[in-house]
Amino acid sequence: MANIGYDDTPVLPGIGFKVHGSERPQPPVITPPTPSTQSAPGAPPSDAVVLFDGATVNGWVSCRDGSPAGWKAEEGVLHVVPGTGDIRTLAEFGDCQLHIEFAAPTEVRGESQGRGNSGVFLMGLYEIQVLDCYDNPTYADGTTGAIYGQYPPLVNACRKPGEWQCYDIIWVAPKFDGDTLVSPARVTVMFNGVVLHHDTVLQGPTQHRTLAHYEPQPPIGPLTLQDHGDLVRFRNIWYRPLACYPTP
């Protein structure tokens, strides 16, 4: 192979490779995702772990008792079945890129937190709010895309009820040394292509009407979706584990 880099350059401090060095490992080649449309989900990237296969609820269980998930899979879409409770993945993971699409009920019912409520819980504990906030005021830190009970989204970028919408989330799990919190959870959230949160530091696992605080937790956890009694739909759910490049 032709010499593709430089070997007469200085070594990058704390990294151990030369600037433009030939010896540095190549990034893995993957096939990127294809875009979703209102009528069909796109294809995940080739290195993604698919959490919903479009046909079954295999891989998801009830948060109540670990029994098979009571939600319904139909024609590529995962439907909340109200009253069956929250569901979680059997897969558990930490730092990741998560992609998930949802649609609020087409028939508009209720108001404030009672309209199209669900939730995406990272590690089963940290909620990115799912709600229909199209022409539906609610408390700011409960708006669609809020880090529930802590940080409102930077903007309300909701599409109309019934239309497919998309979260792309970069999640950095909290790190503990024994019982000591070493670094809190951080999250970046894109919603329908715009930034709602950028590297925002969380105060702890999601709480309702009280303050969050950290307690020691495992380094990995499931993805949980909330049954809040509304007919919310999901599709095209996948993640990619992330090993962030170490900063010198």
> Which tokens go with 192?
């329908």
- The least CB distance from residue 147 to Mg ion, in Å, is 12
Pick the piece of the chain touching Mg ion (CB under 5 A) from 44-52, 66-74, 169-177, 222-230.
Answer: 222-230
DSSP 8-state class, residue 105: -
Question: Minimum distance from CB of 149 to Mg ion (Å)?
Answer: 10
Nearest CA-CA partner of 62 in 232, 217, 222:
222
Least Å distance, CB 55 to Mg ion, is: 26
**H helical segments located in 205-244:** none
* 119 contributes a contact to Mg ion by CB under 5 A: yes
Match 């009571």 to its residue by tokens: 70
Our CB check for Mg ion shows the closer of 117 and 236 to be 117
124 forms part of the interface with Mg ion (CB under 5 A): no
- Among the listed ranges 38-46, 84-92, 175-183, 221-229, the one in contact with Mg ion (CB under 5 A) is 221-229
DSSP 3-state assignment of 114? Answer: helix
> Is the Cβ of residue 118 or residue 192 nearer to Mg ion in the bound state?
118
Between residues 143 and 226, which has the closer beta carbon with respect to Mg ion?
Answer: 226
Q: How far is the CB of 23 from Mg ion (least distance, A)?
A: 49
Give the CB-side neighbour count of residue 180, counting CA atoms within 13 A: 2
Q: Do 123 and 173 touch, CB atoms closer than 8 A? A: yes
Report residue 119 CA to chain centroid gap: 10
Residue identified by tokens 């951080």 is 186
Q: How far is the CB of 148 from Mg ion (least distance, A)?
A: 6
Cβ-based nearer residue to Mg ion, 119 or 174: 119
In the region spanning residues 47 to 86, those forming contacts with Mg ion, defined by CB under 5 A, are none
CA dihedral 87, 92, 93, 99 (to 10 degrees): -40
Cα-Cα end-to-end distance for the chain:
31
Q: Which stretch binds Mg ion (CB under 5 A): 4-12, 46-54, 68-76, 225-233?
A: 225-233
222 binds Mg ion (CB under 5 A): no
Stretch that binds Mg ion, among 57-65, 99-107, 119-127, 184-192 (CB under 5 A): 119-127
Q: Is 41 in the site for Mg ion (CB under 5 A)?
A: no
Report, in Å, the least distance between residue 130 CB and Mg ion.
6
Nearest position to Mg ion, beta carbon? 119
CA distance 120 to 129: 6
**Which residue from 228, 102, 12, 195 is spatially nearest to 187, judged by alpha carbons?**
195
Residues that bind Mg ion (CB under 5 A): 117, 119, 226
